[in-house]
Amino acid sequence: MSAEMNAVPPMTMPASAAALPAATPAKVPSAAYAKWLARQRREKTLVLASRLLLLAAFFGLWEILAKTKVVNPMLTSYPSALWPTFVDLLHNGNLLTHTWATFKATVVGFVLSMVFGIAIAAGLWWSRFANKVLDPFLVVANAMPKIAFVPIFYIWLGSEYSVYGMAVAIAIFVTIMVAYEGFQSTDPNKIKLATTLGASRAQVLRMVVLPGSVPTLIAALKMNIGLSLVGVIVGEFQSASEGLGFLIVNGSQVFKLNIVMTAIVVLALMSALMYLVIARVEHHLARRYG
């Protein structure tokens, strides 16, 4: 008897402490608490300042090394030369058009691979047989260097659609595998609970598996956006007549490293922007699904 009792796992939270669902702060914070808060704020500021400093150091070092000819500025260009190029490209070189083309293609590729990836993963979850049959093909397809298909996609899909195709090809397999992994790891007891209440398989998918996999799907989202961008740039290298990838290849062919570097900096800014958007989405969803 006692052995059995001991086997009972302890509760995760003491009942008394947990009975206060949200900490209710005291009306007048104590001095120690104010100090603790100040320390938290200071740390946050310090992290942000360090990040900015690191960025400034990177650009500063780049500028100095190129200007003092430690590295060949012909090969690396330098930050202060990028600004005039940037302005020039903006006015005369359709930089906005190129950026927009890349951005649009990334979003299209991202949305397509997210939607189809999740749908296929749901199909694999639905049919254990299909999953067993398709599993090795998926693993191989994922391991394949999709870049090998760039010329074929160009021939098959033409210059615009081959860029989308490349983004989807690069991003979708990881989405399928990550999403399926998430669906598969849904607590079987949560499914059992829905089943005891009479849930159909479609209801289990909609009410348990999908909402329960939101944290995994966010992880897939993060990977997906980066991979879509990779696919778009690679696609543009080969086939496009616009886009940042086109600008990079074009610039390097005529040996204008300023253009190449400017395009890369714009690309970095774009990644940062997309990352921020996703971080917002994640923050919003984590409150509910975390």
Residues at the interface with other proteins (CB under 8 A): 1, 3-5, 8-15, 17-19, 21-22, 187, 189-190, 192-199, 203, 207-208, 211-212, 214, 288-290
CA atoms 141, 144, 146, 150: torsion sign: negative
CA dihedral 39, 42, 44, 50 (to 10 degrees): -140
By beta-carbon proximity to other proteins, the closer residue of 5 and 32 is 5
158 CB-near residues (< 8 Å, 6+ apart): 239
Q: Which residues contact 3 (CB under 8 A, 6 or more apart)?
A: none
Rounded to a whole number of angstroms, the minimum distance from the CB of residue 19 to other proteins is 6
- By beta-carbon proximity to other proteins, the closer residue of 76 and 203 is 203
Minimum Å gap between C-beta 48 and other proteins is: 29
Min dist. Cβ of residue 42 to other proteins (A): 29
For other proteins, the closer CB: 186 or 262: 186
Measured from the CB of residue 66, what is the shortest distance to other proteins in angstroms?
A: 52
Closer residue to other proteins, CB minimum distance, 68 or 189: 189
* Of residues 69 and 288, the one with the C-beta less far from other proteins: 288
- Looking at beta carbons only, is 29 or 290 nearer to other proteins? 290
- The contacts of residue 169 (CB under 8 Å, 6+ apart) are 146, 149, 153, 231
Q: What is the dihedral of CA 119, 121, 123, 125, to 10 degrees?
A: -140
Q: How many CB atoms lie within 10 A of CB 16?
A: 7
Least CB distance to other proteins at residue 273 (A): 28
Helices and strands, counts by H and E, the chain = 14, 0
The two three-digit tokens of residue 155, written as one number: 């021939």
Tokens of 290: 């975390």
Q: How far is the CB of 129 from other proteins (least distance, A)?
A: 17
